[in-house]
């Protein structure tokens, strides 16, 4: 196994939290986090950079853009793996965003975090951080999440538990690999994914990602029984640039009240995309099955398929600069 030059970017989150008078808040720097690592110097040269110190609840899309720019610069400087420590609460949004923005990146970018601060008793932080760095020795190009010994594709992850150490799952997508005795063992899916991405990856010195800007006016609407569909009119009047609707089951939208379909057609006439996803955790949408699916699709909505809500939202929140 060849030695790799890796950089760890810190952004805050529970992994770096300390007690304050108002509760836990990010307060540990990169030097403090690396004290808990036990790396083989023959395999890893580790550098660090403190990007920000935020609770991930406070992250905004401009933070994603800044982080993507720093990652790109790290690639251009010759780093062969990038680890990003991040808060767990919105990490699935950030991994989805960077998966989108860092298309064709030639090195692995591996996010990780923790459910407990790194210096807490029985913390999962040291192992998660160690696993993420060691996974960079094997992982192929792309954006990933390492958590509880599992490597997952960054565009498919979701936090599914508020306190359990196995807090994330890969939604509608197989795991990429698993840690075993400090080595990343790839699944068949992982091997295929790495091979495909290697074909499209840029060379490090030539890597230059596309530039993005933020669309502030985007809506996420979750349907519920008895909901007044006129909520869509509010977003029409605001002039939103896109909507994600968390519908029922396979993508069902109430059809007896035709107001929903009327609003969908109005959005379509204005060129505003409306994505339909499901409130179910797994399975995705299948909008050819029921009448309540087909009528919505006929009114101009876009089927979300197996995409997570986070994945759909970031594609609306971010647009390429012209």
CA distance 122 to 130: 15
CA distance 310 to 318: 12
Query: What 3-state class would DSSP assign to 230?
Result: coil
Q: SS3 letters for 282-294?
A: CCCCCCCCCHHHH
CA distance 9 to 25: 18
- CA nearest neighbour of 143 among 199, 188, 192, 104: 104
Tokens found for residue 124: 């999962």
Contact in structure between 174 and 27 (CB atoms under 8 Å): no
H helices then E strands: how many in the chain? 9, 18
CA distance 78 to 5: 8
E strand or H helix that includes residue 316: helix 309-317
How many Å separate Cα 65 from the centre of its chain?
A: 13
E strand or H helix that includes residue 210: none
Catalytic residues: 14
């Amino acid at each position: 196994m060849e030695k790799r030059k890796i950089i760890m970017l810190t952004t805050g989150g529970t992994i770096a939290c300390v007690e304050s008078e108002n509760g836990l808040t990010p307060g540990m720097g990169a030097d403090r986090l690396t004290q808990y690592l036990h790396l083989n110097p023959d395999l890893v040269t580790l550098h660090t950079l403190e990007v920000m110190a935020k609770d991930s609840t406070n992250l905004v899309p401009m933070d994603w853009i800044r982080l993507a720019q720093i990652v790109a610069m790290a690639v251009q400087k010759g780093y062969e793996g990038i680890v990003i420590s991040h808060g767990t609460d919105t990490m699935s949004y950030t991994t989805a965003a960077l998966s989108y923005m860092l298309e064709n990146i030639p090195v692995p970018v591996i996010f990780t975090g923790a459910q407990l601060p790194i210096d807490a008793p029985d913390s999962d932080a040291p192992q998660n951080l160690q696993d993420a760095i060691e996974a960079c020795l094997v992982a192929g190009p792309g954006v990933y999440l390492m958590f509880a010994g599992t490597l997952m594709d960054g565009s498919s992850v979701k936090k599914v538990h508020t306190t359990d150490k196995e807090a994330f799952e890969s939604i509608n997508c197989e795991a990429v690999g698993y840690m075993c005795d400090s080595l990343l063992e790839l699944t068949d899916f992982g091997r295929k994914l790495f091979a495909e991405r290697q074909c499209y990856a840029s060379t490090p010195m030539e890597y230059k990602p596309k530039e993005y800007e933020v669309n502030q006016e985007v809506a996420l609407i979750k349907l519920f029984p008895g909901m007044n569909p006129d909520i869509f009119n509010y977003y029409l009047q605001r002039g939103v640039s896109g909507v994600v609707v968390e519908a029922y089951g396979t993508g069902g939208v109430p059809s007896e009240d035709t107001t929903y379909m009327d609003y969908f057609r109005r959005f379509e006439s204005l060129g505003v995309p409306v994505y339909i996803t499901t409130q179910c955790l797994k399975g995705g949408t299948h909008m050819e099955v029921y009448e309540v699916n087909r009528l919505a699709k006929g009114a101009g909505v876009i089927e979300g398929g197996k995409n997570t809500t986070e994945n759909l939202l970031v594609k609306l929140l971010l647009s390429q600069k012209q």
